[in-house]
C-alpha cells in the first residue's frame, strides 16, 4: 500500500468563495426607489377586468329527488317586489 | 449522454416504452442510475415539475414563459416557467433553470472531466422566494443521485456531486435552498437572506415621556440613510462555496411592502423604477392584508419579487 502523502491533498491556491464584484449588487444609484407597480394599479383600478368564464367552474346542481307538488307561493299575489301580479289570481 | 442507437425513439407506438425511447449511457454509478436511466412512466421517486393545477388541469389556458438573458450577459441562462390563467389571474406553476454552458462552474470544474446535470427550481411561499439547487433523478431511500460513498444509483461524475454528496439517506438533504424573504416589517427567520432597507419615516423613535430631561422625544435616522433598491448578482445558490454561478444581472430580487392590502403580484406584472429601468415579475412570494410599517390594519401586501429586467 502506498504511503499517503498529505501534500497531495493540499490546495494549490485559495479559491474565492463569493465574488464581491458580482454578487448582491444594487442596480441603481437612486437611494430609495419609488417604483410604479402594475400590480398595485390593477388592485386600485376601478376598471373591470373581463374574463372568459369557464363553464366547468359552475357548481354542480343539487342532487336528489324533487317534489312534484307546487310550492306554497303558487297562485298567490306577491307581497313585495312586483307591482302587478302575473296572471289573474283570486279573481 | 442520451443513447438512441437501434432504439425506436419517437417511432415507438408504446406509451410505456421504457428503453424503446433510448436511455442515458456512460458509466453506471458515475453517469447514470441503474434501471433508472430511461424515461420514467410515473413520477414516483423521480424529480418532476408540476406545470398545471392539479384540479382540472386542462380547464385553463397554459402558457410557457421564458426569461432569457441577452448578450453580453450569459445567453445560456434562462428561467422557464409554466403559468395558467385561472379566473383572469396568471398563476405560476413549475419555474426552473437548467444549468448550462461553460460559464457555469468556471474555475471550479472542467467539463472535460465532469458533466453538469444540475437544475434550479424557483418556488414561493409566504413572503419568500426560494432557489432550490438540485440534480434531478431517481431517489428512493439511499438510492439517490448524491449517494456517498458512490452506489449504482449515484451520479458521481455529475459536477454538482462535489457539493451535494450526501451520506444521509434522506433525499431532502440534497437540496440546498436559498430563501429570499421580505425584510420590511417581517418576522425574520435566521435561515433567510436579509435585504438591506432603511426608511426614515419609520426608522424613528417617538417617546411619550414628557420629562424635561428628555429633550429629544422624536428622533429619526437621517433620510440620507434611506435605502431601497433592487438587488442583482444573485448566486445560483447561496449555500455553495465557491459559488459556481451568478444569475445574470437582468434578474433581480426586490422586496416590497405596498398598499392597497389586497395587491396580488402576478407573473408579467411590471415594476417601473424609472423609464430606463423596468422589470417584469417572474415569481412573487407575498402575503396580502398585512399590518405593515404604517400600522394600518390589513393595509399592506408584503413580499419578495423575483424579476427580470426588460428595459
pLDDT digits (tens, 9 = 90+) for B144-187: 999 999 999 999 999 999 999 988 767 666 789 999 999 999 99
Q: Do B228 and A51 touch (CB under 8 A)?
A: no
User: pLDDT band for position A73 (50/70/90)?
Assistant: low
B204 belongs to a structural domain:
yes
B288 to chain A, any CB pair closer than 8 A? The answer is no
Instruction: Identify which has the larger pLDDT, A82 or B129.
Output: B129
ipTM rounded to 2 decimals: 0.81
How many other CB atoms are there within 10 angstroms of residue B9's CB atom? 13
Q: Do B230 and A33 touch (CB under 8 A)?
A: yes
Q: What is the mean pLDDT of residues B1-26?
A: 79
* pLDDT tops 80 at residue B301: yes
What does the pLDDT look like over B113-154, one tens digit per residue?
A: 999 999 999 999 999 999 999 999 998 888 899 999 999 999
B23 belongs to a structural domain:
no
B249 to chain A, any CB pair closer than 8 A? The answer is yes
B197 belongs to a structural domain:
yes
Q: What is the mean pLDDT of residues B1-29?
A: 81
What does the pLDDT look like over B236-258, one tens digit per residue?
A: 999 999 999 999 999 999 999 99
B107 belongs to a structural domain:
no
Q: Do A43 and B262 touch (CB under 8 A)?
A: yes
* pLDDT tops 90 at residue A61: no
Centroid of chain to Cα B34? 29
Domain count, chain B: 1
User: Which residues in chain A are contacts of B258 at CB distance < 8 A?
Assistant: 37, 40
Long-range own/partner contacts, residues B5-11 (CB < 8 A, 24 or more apart): none
What does the pLDDT look like over B44-94, one tens digit per residue?
A: 889 999 999 998 899 999 999 999 999 999 999 999 999 999 988 999 999
B302 to chain A, any CB pair closer than 8 A? The answer is no
B41 belongs to a structural domain:
no
Residue among B35, B1, B43 at smallest CA distance from B18: B35
User: What does pTM read for this prediction?
Assistant: 0.84
B281 to chain A, any CB pair closer than 8 A? The answer is yes
Mean pLDDT over all residues of chain B?
91
Q: Are B258 and A40 in contact (CB under 8 A)?
A: yes
* pLDDT tops 80 at residue A72: no
Centroid of chain to Cα B247? 11
Give residue B237's domain range. Answer: 180-309
B298 to chain A, any CB pair closer than 8 A? The answer is no
What count of residues does chain A have?
A: 91
- What's the pLDDT at B12? 80
Q: Which three three-digit cell numbers place residue B276?
A: 430606463
- What's the pLDDT at B145? 92
B298 belongs to a structural domain:
yes
Q: What is the mean pLDDT of residues B185-207?
A: 91
How many pairs of residues across A and B have Cβ atoms under 8 Å apart?
115
B194 belongs to a structural domain:
yes
**B276 Cβ contact list (under 8 Å, min separation 6):** B311
B275 belongs to a structural domain:
yes
Amino acid at each position: 500500500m502506498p504511503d499517503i502523502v498529505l501534500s497531495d491533498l493540499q490546495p494549490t491556491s485559495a479559491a474565492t468563495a463569493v465574488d464581491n464584484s458580482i454578487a448582491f449588487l444594487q442596480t441603481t444609484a437612486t437611494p430609495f426607489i419609488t417604483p410604479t407597480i402594475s400590480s398595485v394599479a390593477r388592485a386600485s383600478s376601478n376598471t373591470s377586468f373581463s374574463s372568459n368564464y369557464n363553464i366547468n367552474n359552475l357548481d354542480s346542481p343539487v342532487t336528489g329527488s324533487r317534489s312534484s307538488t307546487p310550492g306554497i307561493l303558487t297562485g298567490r299575489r306577491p307581497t313585495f317586489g312586483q307591482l302587478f301580479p302575473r296572471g289573474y289570481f283570486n279573481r | 449522454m442520451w443513447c438512441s442507437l437501434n432504439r425506436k425513439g419517437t417511432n415507438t407506438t408504446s406509451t410505456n416504452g421504457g428503453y424503446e425511447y433510448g436511455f442515458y449511457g456512460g458509466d453506471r454509478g458515475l453517469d447514470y442510475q441503474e434501471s433508472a436511466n430511461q424515461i420514467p412512466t410515473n413520477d414516483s421517486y423521480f424529480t418532476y415539475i408540476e406545470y398545471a393545477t392539479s384540479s382540472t388541469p386542462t380547464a385553463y389556458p397554459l402558457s410557457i414563459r421564458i426569461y432569457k438573458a441577452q448578450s453580453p450577459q450569459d445567453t445560456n441562462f434562462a428561467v422557464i416557467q409554466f403559468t395558467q390563467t385561472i379566473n383572469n389571474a396568471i398563476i405560476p406553476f413549475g419555474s426552473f433553470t437548467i444549468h448550462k454552458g461553460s460559464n457555469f462552474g468556471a474555475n471550479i470544474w472542467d467539463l472535460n472531466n465532469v458533466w453538469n446535470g444540475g437544475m434550479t427550481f424557483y418556488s414561493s411561499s409566504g413572503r419568500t422566494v426560494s432557489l432550490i439547487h438540485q440534480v434531478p433523478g431517481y431517489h428512493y431511500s439511499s438510492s439517490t443521485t448524491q449517494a456517498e460513498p458512490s452506489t449504482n444509483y449515484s451520479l458521481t461524475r455529475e459536477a454538482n456531486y462535489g457539493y451535494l454528496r450526501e451520506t444521509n439517506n434522506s433525499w431532502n438533504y440534497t437540496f440546498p435552498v436559498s430563501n429570499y424573504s421580505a425584510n420590511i416589517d417581517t418576522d425574520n427567520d435566521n435561515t433567510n437572506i436579509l435585504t438591506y432597507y432603511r426608511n426614515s419615516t419609520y426608522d424613528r423613535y417617538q417617546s411619550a415621556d414628557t420629562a424635561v430631561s428628555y429633550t429629544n422625544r422624536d428622533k429619526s435616522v437621517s433620510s440620507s440613510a434611506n435605502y431601497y433598491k433592487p438587488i442583482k448578482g444573485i448566486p445560483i445558490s447561496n449555500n455553495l462555496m465557491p459559488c459556481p454561478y451568478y444569475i445574470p444581472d437582468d434578474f433581480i430580487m426586490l422586496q416590497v411592502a405596498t398598499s392597497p392590502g389586497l395587491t396580488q403580484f402576478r407573473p408579467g406584472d411590471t415594476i417601473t423604477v424609472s423609464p430606463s429601468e423596468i422589470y417584469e415579475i417572474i415569481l412573487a412570494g407575498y402575503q396580502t392584508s398585512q399590518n405593515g410599517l404604517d400600522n394600518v390594519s390589513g393595509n399592506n401586501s408584503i413580499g419578495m419579487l423575483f424579476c427580470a429586467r426588460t428595459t
